């Protein structure tokens, strides 16, 4: 960083952006300005893409077992620096230190899984599909690929894609969220240590102009996006119109069903962690609970107690369970959504507005909030609030609960709390969401499973992580081979 400015990293060199506009990176707990993200221009994106394009032919020819040696080195660098990066995530993003550390563990896990690429990107061969003729399917890299990231997991989300892309032989450009660009800056200082050939991994900071430049650049062959649904839809359509592969993960409104036969203490504890962890700014945060029959009163009582007793403060302070939301604007938007709930006639059982945290008066805090008796189809029941606000609904049967889940626009995650295997199987079978939890509040797929959003939560075909990532970052080539007849006849 120069004078608190965030730099780009292109061709293994740190570059001062020529940007004239900047976005301040602000610690949302203390209001301290931590840095300034340059809004890089189209020309600066072009330079990074060109570097990646120049690096591609040699990188593609580097054998996969050699390519993954860089990932082993990256894993060791990330392990050795996990505390420093986690502190940075907490400072720029607000979540607690433990949450930041857990985020980085997930990032590292993806690097580990991508080290299996020599096996994962193997092709297949069928001998003698006709006399003396063989057919082969090879996987080859796609070319220059890029990722566009949201603010809420600045350390982890790029790693749902980056290690697989690079291990498969592609070259890469990372565009972090302009609100939280420090974590990737630190991570690229580690990338600098692992000795990758120049141009293989590049970092460009910016916002809309940089994103549009990636979407329109003819040399960029595939783009991964994670962020809000309107932007995901935009990325998907503009990128696809330009002939690129696109995977675009969007927003969410994740429901949980609580049946009367559930372990209610566990359901309350896990749902509170899911709804209020990371201040509700997780795409897998529970934001809606549907209680069934007599689960209603004990669950409502328990979750209200859990909301009131949650320790809110600065994520670097010991004992804090929930940090601030990302910006003042977010705080006001979330408080506005709580007001909308009240105006829609619902009961705000626990009201987190106007939070004052001693010692952090300038912070962007909203305390855990519970709004009950939501009506299906209301704004509060449908809209992603992306803050520590949990809505409650009530029905009498599991059928009604599942149809409420399936009436939602989003399909990122749905969970069920029960002790009945029959109910669990039915839910798993019928629920229209791509990530399912059974007695689990944050059903985040491990790196060796795809991160499977559905409906308005995902635009594309192949998800991030695991074999889906290998499919996304490789193109299949089929070869049909015949060799001289004399040789075949010999046998």
* Nearer to ligand NAD among residue 189 and residue 238 (C-beta): 238
Give the binding-site size for ligand NAD (rule: CB under 6 A): 27
38 binds ligand NAD (CB under 6 A): no
Q: How far is the CB of 153 from ligand NAD (least distance, A)?
A: 6
* Nearer to ligand NAD among residue 108 and residue 207 (C-beta): 207
Contact (CB, 8 A) for 35 and 186:
no
* Nearer to ligand NAD among residue 267 and residue 283 (C-beta): 283
Q: How far is the CB of 92 from ligand NAD (least distance, A)?
A: 12
Work out which of 114, 211, 278, 385 binds ligand NAD, going by CB under 6 A: 211
Contact (CB, 8 A) for 214 and 148:
yes
Residues in region 50-69 near ligand NAD by CB under 6 A: none
Residues in region 114-143 near ligand NAD by CB under 6 A: none
Pairing of strands 13-15, 22-26: unpaired
* Nearer to ligand NAD among residue 152 and residue 369 (C-beta): 152
Q: How far is the CB of 438 from ligand NAD (least distance, A)?
A: 20
Other CB atoms within 10 Å distance of the CB of residue 490: 6
Residue 103 CA to residue 78 CA, distance in Å, equals 12
* Nearer to ligand NAD among residue 177 and residue 380 (C-beta): 177
x-marked contacts with ligand NAD along 220-259 as a string, rule CB under 6 A:
------xxx--x--x--------------xxxx-------
Work out which of 34, 107, 207, 288 binds ligand NAD, going by CB under 6 A: 207
Residues in region 299-358 near ligand NAD by CB under 6 A: none
x-marked contacts with ligand NAD along 261-290 as a string, rule CB under 6 A:
----------------------x-------
Q: Which stretch binds ligand NAD (CB under 6 A): 99-107, 170-178, 307-315, 390-398?
A: 170-178
Q: How far is the CB of 402 from ligand NAD (least distance, A)?
A: 22
Q: How far is the CB of 312 from ligand NAD (least distance, A)?
A: 21
Torsion of CA 100, 334, 238, 449, to 10 degrees: 40
Q: How far is the CB of 354 from ligand NAD (least distance, A)?
A: 23
Contact (CB, 8 A) for 159 and 131:
no
Residues in contact with 197: Cβ distance below 8 Å, sequence separation at least 6, in sequence order: 55, 58, 59, 62
The question of whether 304 is a catalytic residue gets the answer no
First to last CA, the chain: 68
* Nearer to ligand NAD among residue 64 and residue 227 (C-beta): 227
* Nearer to ligand NAD among residue 37 and residue 171 (C-beta): 37
Residues in region 139-158 near ligand NAD by CB under 6 A: 148-152
Contact (CB, 8 A) for 394 and 381:
no
Work out which of 17, 37, 183, 457 binds ligand NAD, going by CB under 6 A: 457
Residues in region 411-450 near ligand NAD by CB under 6 A: 412
* Nearer to ligand NAD among residue 107 and residue 226 (C-beta): 226
Residues in contact with 437: Cβ distance below 8 Å, sequence separation at least 6, in sequence order: 256, 413, 414, 415, 416, 443
* Nearer to ligand NAD among residue 389 and residue 395 (C-beta): 389
Residues in contact with 44: Cβ distance below 8 Å, sequence separation at least 6, in sequence order: 8, 15, 17, 18, 19, 204, 206, 210
Write down the catalytic residue from 93, 283, 304, 364. Answer: 283
41 binds ligand NAD (CB under 6 A): no
Work out which of 217, 453, 460, 472 binds ligand NAD, going by CB under 6 A: 453
Backbone angles phi, psi at 287, to 5 degrees: -125, -5
Q: How far is the CB of 211 from ligand NAD (least distance, A)?
A: 4
Residues in region 377-396 near ligand NAD by CB under 6 A: 384, 386
| Residues carrying an active site annotation | 283
Contact positions vs ligand NAD (CB under 6 A): 148-152, 175, 177-178, 207-208, 211, 226-228, 231, 234, 249-252, 283, 384, 386, 412, 451, 453, 457
């Amino acid at each position: 960083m120069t004078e608190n400015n965030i730099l780009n990293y292109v061709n293994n060199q740190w570059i001062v952006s020529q940007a004239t506009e900047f976005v301040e990176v602000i610690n949302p707990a203390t209001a301290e300005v931590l840095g300034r993200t340059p809004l890089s221009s189209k020309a600066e994106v072009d330079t990074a893409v060109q570097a990646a394009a120049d690096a591609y032919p040699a990188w593609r020819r580097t054998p996969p077992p050699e390519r993954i040696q860089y990932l082993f080195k990256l894993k060791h660098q990330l392990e050795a620096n996990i505390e420093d990066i986690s502190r940075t995530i907490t400072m720029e993003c607000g979540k607690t230190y433990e949450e930041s550390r857990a985020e980085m563990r997930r990032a590292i896990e993806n690097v580990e899984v991508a080290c299996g690429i020599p096996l994962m990107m193997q092709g297949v061969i069928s001998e003698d599909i006709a006399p003396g003729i063989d057919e082969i399917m090879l996987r080859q890299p796609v070319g220059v690929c890029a990722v566009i990231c949201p603010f809420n997991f600045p350390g982890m989300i790029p790693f749902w894609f980056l290690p697989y892309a690079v291990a498969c032989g592609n070259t890469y450009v990372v565009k972090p969220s302009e609100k939280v660009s420090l974590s990737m800056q630190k991570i690229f200082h580690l990338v600098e240590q692992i000795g990758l050939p120049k141009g293989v991994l590049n970092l460009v900071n910016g916002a809309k102009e940089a994103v549009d430049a990636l979407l329109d650049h003819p040399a960029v062959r595939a783009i991964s996006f994670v962020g809000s649904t309107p932007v995901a839809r935009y990325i998907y359509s503009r990128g696809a119109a330009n002939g690129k592969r696109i995977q675009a993960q969007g927003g969410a409104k994740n429901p949980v069903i609580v049946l009367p036969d559930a372990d209610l203490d566990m359901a309350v504890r896990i749902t509170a962690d899911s709804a209020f962890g990371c201040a509700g700014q997780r795409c897998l945060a529970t934001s809606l609970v549907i209680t069934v029959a007599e689960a209603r009163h004990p669950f409502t009582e328990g979750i209200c107690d859990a909301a009131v007793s949650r320790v809110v403060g600065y994520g670097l302070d010991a004992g804090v369970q929930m940090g601030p939301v990302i910006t003042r604007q977010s705080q006001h938007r979330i408080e506005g959504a709580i007001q909308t709930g009240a105006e829609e006639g619902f009961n705000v059982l626990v009201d987190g507005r106007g939070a004052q945290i001693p010692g952090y008066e300038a912070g962007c805090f909203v305390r855990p909030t519970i709004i009950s008796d939501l009506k299906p189809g209301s704004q509060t029941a449908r809209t992603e609030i992306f803050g520590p606000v949990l809505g409650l609904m009530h029905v009498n049967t599991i059928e009604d609960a599942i149809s409420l889940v399936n009436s939602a626009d989003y399909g990122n995650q749905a969970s069920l709390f029960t002790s009945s295997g029959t109910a669990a199987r039915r839910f798993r079978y019928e629920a229209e969401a791509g990530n399912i939890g059974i007695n689990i509040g944050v059903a985040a797929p491990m790196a060796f499973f795809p991160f499977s959003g559905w409906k308005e939560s995902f635009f594309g075909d192949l998800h991030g992580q695991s074999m889906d990532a290998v499919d996304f970052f490789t193109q299949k080539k089929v070869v049909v081979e015949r060799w001289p007849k004399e040789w075949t006849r010999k046998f």
